[in-house]
Amino acid sequence: MLDILLLRKDLDSAIARLETRKKPQAFLNVEAFQSLESERKRLQSRTEELQAQRNQLSKQVGMLMGKGDKQGAEAAKAQVGQLKNELETSAARLEQLQGELQALLLAVPNLPHESVPLGSDESGNVEVRRWGTPRAFDFEAKDHVDIGTPLGLDFDMGVKLSGSRFTVMKGPIARLHRALAQFMLDLQTEAHGYAECYVPYAVNADSLKGTGQLPKFEGDLFAAKKGGQEGEPVPDNAALYLIPTAEVPLTNFVRDQVVTEAELPIKLTAHSPCFRSEAGSYGRDTRGMIRQHQFDKVEMVQIVHPEKSYEALEEMAGHAEAVLQKLGLPYRVVNLCTGDLGFGAAKTYDLEVWLPGQDAYREISSVSNCEAFQSRRLQARFKNAQGKNELLHTLNGSGLAVGRCLVAVLENYQNADGSVTVPEALHSYMNGQTLLKP
C-alpha cells in the first residue's frame, strides 16, 4: 500500500508515476480520493476546534464552581455535553473515512522505482545480460511435451483427475522433478544463507491482503471453505485460499511484528506447490507445462533494512541465476518496464531460460523489490538506530519455478533417441542416474 502522506503531499507526482504503468485509469480514483480527503481535513479541523472549546469550557466549570456560580457551572457543563456528542459523531465519521481511504488505496499498485524503464508492455523490457550459449542440435529439437510423455509426463491423467492445466508425473520424470526442487533448496540454504521453511498451503485472507493479492486479485486465487458443524452454515470468514506462491506465508512471518535491526536481513526459503486460476490467461500456453493451475516453486524472501533493499535485489537475482548456471541452462536477465511490473513491485528482474522447443527465452523467475509497499499493509517494522519504529522493505523471488526448470532441462538436454541426459548437478539427487530413457 502506498504511503497516504505521499499522496497528500504530492498527489500529482504520484499520479504521474502511476500513469507509466499499464491501465492507470483503473488504479486510483482521484476524484473519490480528493473528496474523501477534503471531508477528512474538514472533520479533523472541526474536531480540533471542538476539543479546544471543550477544554476551555471544562476549565470554566472549575472556575465557576470555585466562585460558587452553580448556575453558570451547570450551563457550561451542558455545553460540554453537547460538544461531547458532536465529538463522538465526528470521531465515528473520521474512523469511517479512514476505512474508506484505506479500501481505496488497497487497489493502488506500487510506484515504479526511478531505474525502471518506461514502457507500456513487455516489449518495453530491457535486457540486462545473458549467460550461456543455446545448444546447436544436429537433429530436430522437440518440445517438452513430446520428450516428456514417454518418460512419464501424463497430461491426460491430469485432465481426468482435475481438469485442464493440471499434470501428472510418473516414474523417472517425477524423480527428476523432485531432484530439481531438492537441489534448489540445498543451494539456497547452504550457499546463499536462506533459512528453509515449511509453510501452510492454505492461508487466511489477512495473509493475502498483506502481500497484495487481496482484494484486487481474488479472481486469480483458488478458495475453499473450512467445514463447519453438521447442519450449521459455514461463516464467510472461514474461507481459506490456496497459496499462489510461498511468498505469501513467508512474508507474513513479520506481520504485526517489530523486529530488531540486528535481526536483519531475514532470509527465508520454502518449496511449495502454488495454485493459480490464471484468470485472464485462457488461450495462452495451452500446450504443456508452461502455464499450470498447480506448479511447484522454491521461493526466496528477504526482509531487509530500507537502505539495503536494492543491494538485496541484485543479490537475489544472482541467487536465482546460480541455479541456472549450475544446471548449464542458457538464460537472460531483463529489467521489467513500468507497464509490465507486478502490482506490488517497485522494480523486478525476470530471468528467462532458453527453450529450444519454442526457440525462445521464457520466464523462469521474477525477483522483485516491493520496498515498503507490503510492509505498510502488514505493519511489519523494525526499531531503527534512533529507537523509532520504521517500515521494513520486503523482496521476493523464485529460486526457481520447478516445473519450468524441468521443461528447460528436458528441452536443453534431449538426445536424438528420445533420452534425456541428467545435468551433472543433479546426479547425486538422482542416485547416480545420468540418463532418462523412454
CA angle 428, 433, 434 (to 5 degrees): 100
Q: Given CA atoms 21, 294, 318, 268 in this order, what sign does their dihedral have?
A: positive
Per-residue DSSP letters for 176-221? Answer: HHHHHHHHHHHIIIIIT-PEEE---SEE-HHHHHHHT-TTTTGGGS
Annotated binding site for ATP: 276-278, 363-366
H or E segment and range at residue 331 = strand 331-335
Q: How far apart are CA 332 and CA 423, in angstroms?
A: 19
pLDDT at 402 over 80: yes
292-344 tens-digit pLDDT: 999 999 999 999 999 999 999 999 999 999 999 999 999 999 999 999 999 99
Query: Where on the phi/psi map is residue 347: left (φ > 0), alpha (ψ -120 to 50), or beta?
Result: beta
For residue 243, give the nearest of 290, 177, 293, 303 by alpha carbon: 293
Q: How far apart are CA 201 and CA 241, in angstroms?
A: 8
Write the CB contacts of 268 (distance below 8 Å, at least 6 apart in sequence): 194, 195, 197, 250, 253, 300, 301, 302, 303
Contact between 274 and 244 (Cβ < 8 Å): yes
Q: DSSP letter for 253, please.
A: G
pLDDT at 233 over 70: no
SS3 assignment, position 302? strand
Q: DSSP letter for 22, please.
A: S
| pLDDT of the residue at 228 | 62
Q: Is 332 exposed, middle or buried (0-12, 13-18, 19+ CB in 10 A)?
A: middle
pLDDT at 204 over 80: yes
Annotated binding site for L-serine: 245-247, 299, 398
Residue with cell 477528512: 40
pLDDT at 280 over 60: no
71-84 tens-digit pLDDT: 776 776 777 778 88
For residue 2, give the nearest of 373, 374, 380, 371 by alpha carbon: 373
Buried b (16+ CB within 10 A) or exposed e, 84-107: eeebeebeeebeebeebbeebbee
Q: How far apart are CA 91 and CA 130, in angstroms?
A: 58
Q: How far apart are CA 435 and CA 420, in angstroms?
A: 6
Residue with cell 510418473: 170
Cell of 256: 504485526
Q: Given CA atoms 146, 151, 156, 162 in this order, what sign does their dihedral have?
A: negative
| pLDDT of the residue at 234 | 55
Annotated binding site: 245-247, 276-278, 299, 363-366, 398
128-172 tens-digit pLDDT: 999 999 999 999 999 999 999 999 999 999 999 999 999 999 999
Strand 258-260 with 381-383, pairing: parallel
pLDDT at 16 over 90: yes
CA distance from start to end of the chain: 51
CA-CA-CA-CA torsion for 192, 382, 350, 128, nearest 10 degrees?
Answer: -80
